[in-house]
């Protein structure tokens, strides 16, 4: 989707968003990168795999995972939105909610099922106090 956003700026250039968009986009990209770094640190600390669709060895409930059950996927959305702002790519901004739906159906729901099966009450307790996205 990031490639589609970039391609739109080349193939269907439109009006530029303005200097505010470059600044805002940079901040949003930085936020996404920070989220990824914080999430990867938790995976490393727990010695479990970051690869989707693998059986988890641990449930992450500390650090950034106290605030969001899916900070890496949230970071993906922030990166798409941030680059779309920087590039004045209106298509990329439209694709942000589409990507959120794809990530939820393709990755998040199956991952939650594996966590529920593997960690039962611990997952239920964490899910009840921690939002899926923010």
Q: Where are the domains of the chain?
A: 18-47+58-129
Q: Round to whole Å and give the CA distance between 8 and 34.
A: 27
CA angle, residues 114, 56, 113, in degrees to nearest 5:
10
> pLDDT digit string (tens) for 27-83?
999 999 999 999 999 999 998 888 887 778 899 999 999 999 999 999 999 999 999
Q: Convert the pLDDT of each residue in 74-127 to its tens digit.
A: 999 999 999 999 999 999 999 999 999 999 999 999 999 999 999 999 999 999
pLDDT of residue 14: 78
pTM for this model (two decimals): 0.91
Planar angle of CA 42, 131, 91, nearest 5 degrees:
90
Phi, psi of 55 (to 5 degrees): -70, 125
Let me know: does 88 contact 19? Beta carbons within 8 Å.
no
Q: From 55, 50, 69, select the one nearest 128 (Cα to Cα).
A: 69
């Amino acid at each position: 989707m990031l490639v589609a956003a970039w391609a739109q700026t080349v193939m269907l250039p439109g009006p530029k968003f303005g200097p505010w968009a470059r600044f805002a986009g940079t901040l949003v990209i930085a936020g996404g990168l920070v989220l990824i770094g914080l999430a990867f640190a938790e995976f490393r600390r727990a010695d479990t795999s970051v690869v989707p669709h693998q059986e988890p060895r641990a449930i992450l409930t500390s650090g950034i995972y106290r605030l969001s059950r899916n900070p890496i996927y949230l970071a993906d959305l922030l990166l798409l939105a941030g680059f779309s702002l920087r590039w004045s790519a209106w298509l990329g901004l439209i694709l942000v909610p589409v990507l959120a739906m794809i990530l939820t159906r393709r990755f998040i729901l199956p991952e939650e099922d594996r966590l529920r099966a593997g960690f039962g009450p611990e997952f239920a307790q964490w899910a009840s106090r921690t939002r899926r996205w923010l």
